[in-house]
Amino acid sequence: MRNKKKIFYFFTLLFFLNSCSYHLGRNEDSKISTVSVPYVKGDFSGLFTQEVIRQISNTPSLTYRYSNADSKLKIAIIDNKVDQIGYKYDRDKKDQRKKNIRQTESRQTITVNIELMDNKTNETILGPYKISADEAFDYVDQDNLNDLSFVDSNGNRETVLAFSLGQLESFENAKDASLKPIYIQLAQKIVDAISSQW
């Protein structure tokens, strides 16, 4: 008899919860939207496009589809700039400080334009918006002997790169290495923006 009363109270509670618009779990009105991502304009390596797709695939409210998706995410890289933010004094062969300074640290900033389009109506759902992300990086001057070597206690010149464990790079290599964290930041911001629509 007690079990019947418990079951009765349980179903009565469920009835009242549903009638008051309370739901257990996901709301019935919510939907998982499908999104396609055409190749990002200006992404010559394809790494940024790949990161955006990966972030969408890892988001519970979104589903990536190559084709036949509800919406299409158009992205274009509209700016990629590098600002110098770190300097140091140059040194002569005797390791004495000179008056001139050299660049040793930069910040790369990438700005993209995003627009989420409805595939059926071709109307804009979200955007267009500009989103930016940046990353700082250090580098060495490959044409400067003091950047690539040092004089040890015995007076012998040793290469710095042998002791750097890959941390010292040329400007171009360091700039390229900063792309991955920038792409991750941008993809997260983009996915946060479009997932807030559902």
pLDDT per residue as tens digits for the range 126-181: 989 999 999 998 876 655 545 555 566 676 766 655 544 445 566 777 888 899 99
d(CA 189, CA 53): 13
Collect all residues with Cβ–Cβ distance below 8 Å to 15 and sequence separation of at least 6.
none
Is-above-0.75 flag for pTM?
no
**Number of separate domains in the chain:** 1
Does 189 map to a domain? yes
Does 50 map to a domain? yes
Does 4 map to a domain? no
* Mean pLDDT value of segment 41-57: 97
* Mean pLDDT value of segment 22-42: 67
- First and final C-alpha spacing in the chain: 45
- Say how many C-beta atoms besides its own lie within 10 A of residue 135's C-beta: 19
Collect all residues with Cβ–Cβ distance below 8 Å to 113 and sequence separation of at least 6.
75, 76, 78, 127, 128, 129, 130
pLDDT of residue 80: 97
Does 7 map to a domain? no
What pairs with residue 150 in β-bridges?
158
Find the Cα–Cα–Cα–Cα dihedral 41, 42, 48, 53, rounded to 10°: 10
The CATH number of the domain where 157 resides is what? 3.30.160.150
Does 152 map to a domain? yes
pLDDT of residue 25: 37
Structure tokens at 151: 């004089």
pLDDT of residue 143: 52
Does 147 map to a domain? yes
Report the half-sphere exposure of 2 (CA within 13 A, side-chain side).
0
68 lies in which domain range?
A: 32-195
pLDDT band at 74 (very low <50, low <70, confident <90, very high): very high
Does 8 map to a domain? no
Does 165 map to a domain? yes
